[in-house]
Chains A and B, each alone.
Chain A
Amino acid sequence: MPVMTYMEASRQALAEEMRRDPMVWAVGEDLGRGGVFGQYRGLIDEFGADRISDAPISESCILGAAVGAAMMGTRPVVEMRFSDFALCAVDELVNQAAKARYMFGGQTRVPLVVREPIGMWRSSAAQHSQSLEAWYAHIPGLVVAVPATPADNKALLKAAIRCDDPVVYMEHKGLWPLEGEVPAGDVVGEFGKARLVREGGDVTIVSWSAAVHTVAEAAVRLAEEGIDAEVIDLRTLWPWDQGAVLGSVGRTGRLLVVQEAVAVAGFGAEVAAFVAERLHKALKAPVKRLGAPRIPISYAPVLEDEVRVRTEAVVAAARGLVEY
């Protein structure tokens, strides 16, 4: 299997989808130059400026125009550079894209993908570092994808582009250079299908996006201590693989949810509550969440690291559940 970066995988997915379907086009700031992270590099040479389209710095119009263009039968891939900037276009995403199909009684679909890079990226500070996935999981009508690996970034982006409903597609900035095996050819992901990162019988650790890698590291350390952690990467938060999580926690009796985002009202709360409601009697320990404290992300590395969920914290939390 070819090895490539998370960034290259997404570029390949977009290029393949644009070749397959002439109605797919990308629009956003600085796409002609390749995008902030290089995820569009070279595409303008193959597809031209109409389909790899540079937009003014008008987030509201980029997303609003994508809504109109999607209603007219094209399939826009919208680039927001940072999920923080997509907040300038929340009306267009939440009030327009997410609702149009429903409030117009099914007369239209809004098949757009909005790419919103999330997460901490060294010293990017409070307006370039947020993980806002829970906001969108809360909104009826939106699909939320949070790929953690190069393979998933290819497969899920393809699925997002083919989806007839609006997809909030959240790539993690820290993952762009991550290398991994990516299946060649037209492999299309499935929303709501988790990835079993590692099997284990002692504790279930559920995570998504970059935090999956922290959890995987923690699982290796836990194994050295004789604790077998089962690690689940949700891959998409709406829909999310409730069956996989219930099945796993049903076996292990212990659940730890790990997210980079602020823990308060985060998606981890949804997973925790869902499991607690259904598996109360099967639980051997209280459900546990790990996430950032409710403070903005800082600039200085030492302050930034203060909110980061580290491997040691995951190990300690999992150990605590097993020893409960």
Chain B
Amino acid sequence: MPSGESSPATNLDVNRHLAQFRQMCRIREFEKAAIKAANERLVLGAIHPSIGQEAIAVGVCSNLRRDDIILSTHRGHGHTMAKGADALAMMRELFGRAGGYSQGKGGSMHIADFSVGMLGANGVVAANINIAAGAAHAIRLKGEDRVVVCFFGDGAINRGPFLEGLNWAGVFRLPILFVCEDNGFAATTRTHAMTAGDGPAARAEALGIKAEIVDGNDLFAVDAAARELIGIVRKGTPRFLLARTYRLTGHTSADTAPYRPQEEVAERWLNDPIDNCRGVLERAGVAAAELAAIARGAEDEMRQAYEMARDSAWPARELAYADVQDVGDPREVAF
């Protein structure tokens, strides 16, 4: 920490971090609204909240260009919003309504917004790693300077695609940043109980991909690490970022997480990345009222998204038959 008369945070780019703070609040409020909707049976399928992990999504994605690519997980609301997706289209998708990103065919686990380079959430753990490797491969084949960021959880490192995808990225020197969000749990099991060896970073290093470890609840640390690593990746060298964090909710909105002690969760709430960010900005001289207004604005936006999604029409039945494939009309041959 710098010493001297000035506040330790005065060299912060306050405008940048205010925007990041706002984005973190938006993600948090989106998921709070989604959980409320799930409890009210307005969201019908499973949702996997990323409450407590917002600093990773925002810290990484705010270092990306619009034409850069991300691949996400089944816990993907935060990544998707951080990459610039529209909250209302996301909410409508969670509600299965018209105007949702997948026209009501995907739900939370299949949200994508190709217009902002978000190539999809994925319902299969680790499956996105190979797809991300392919997206980066295409970028290299085309000679573009875009990068790919692949988010996955610590549970994903025990599936084959983790090994295959990282090896692929190393062999072909692909512009890809692997971001492992280590929240300690693989669904409802503590990951360390199911993982041999020294974990994600060690495995990446073993495949020749340099890994950096960062406090995933510290936006500023994630931001700085992502900026540096994405710069390296853009020159065509894969890198690995392990961000340690904690999932403050259960695996799904319906999971009360009885498998972990309340005291542990209460203690982790004291390390809320949004509160951490707010504290740094306040110490840097940003008025508490301004930060409160940002948080309130996010809450209002997501309440509106919730209401508009709730009032949206269901998709037309005919859409069930659309976008299957070009040949062999399913209406003609099913019955």
A-side residues, CB < 8 A to B, are: 25, 50-51, 55-56, 58, 60-61, 63-74, 76, 91-92, 95-96, 100-108, 140-143, 163-165, 191-192, 238-239, 242
Contact = CB atoms under 8 A, between A and B. Distances in A.
B120 interface: yes
A71 B133 contact: no
A71 B327 contact: no
14 contacts: A58-B164, A65-B133, A68-B71, A68-B131, A69-B141, A71-B134, A72-B69, A92-B130, A95-B123, A103-B106, A103-B110, A105-B101, A105-B323, A141-B325
Contacts of B52: none
A141 B71 CA distance: 21
Nearest to A159: B327
Given A64-B165, A72-B135, A242-B333, A104 B130 contact: no
B324 A65 contact: no
A61 B323 contact: no
B131 A64 contact: yes
Contacts of A242: 333
B327 A165 contact: yes
B324 A102 contact: yes
Nearest to B161: A60
Contact of B105 (A25, A50, A102): A102
B124 A68 contact: no
Interface in B60-83: 69, 71
Given A74-B142, A91-B124, A105-B106, A60 B114 contact: no
B252 to A, nearest CB: 19
Given A96-B131, A100-B120, A74 B141 contact: yes
Closest 6 pairs between A and B when the two form their complex, measured CB to CB: A64-B130, A68-B134, A65-B134, A105-B102, A239-B328, A61-B164
B105 A105 contact: yes
Contacts of A191: 327
B29 to A, nearest CB: 25
Contact of A105 (B100, B124, B165, B330): B100
Contact of B135 (A69, A100, A104): A69
B127 A71 contact: no
A65 B112 contact: no
B279 interface: no
Contacts of A69: 134-135, 137-138, 141
For the side of the interface on B, what is the size category?
A: 35 or more
Nearest to B335: A277
Contacts of A108: 112, 114, 119-120
Contact of A65 (B120, B142, B168): B168
B326 interface: yes
B243 interface: no
Contacts of B142: 72-74
A64 B105 contact: no
B127 to A, nearest CB: 6
Interface string B115-136: 1000110111001011111111
Interface of B: 69, 71, 100-106, 110, 112-115, 119-120, 122-124, 127, 129-139, 141-142, 160-161, 164-165, 167-168, 171, 322-328, 330, 333
Given A64-B134, A65-B131, A104 B101 contact: yes
Nearest to B166: A61
Contacts of A106: 103, 322-323
B110 to A, nearest CB: 4
B165 to A, nearest CB: 6
A107 B127 contact: no
Contacts of B165: 61, 64-65
A193 to B, nearest CB: 11
A105 B103 contact: yes
Given A60-B160, A61-B161, A72-B138, A104 B325 contact: no
A141 B102 contact: no
A101 B131 contact: no
B102 A104 contact: yes
Nearest to A99: B110
B327 A60 contact: no
A247 to B, nearest CB: 16
A32 B129 CA distance: 25
Contacts of B129: 64
A60 B325 CA distance: 23
A61 B130 contact: yes
B237 to A, nearest CB: 18
B137 A68 contact: yes
Contacts of A104: 101-102, 106, 110, 112, 114, 120
B132 A68 contact: yes
A70 B114 CA distance: 13
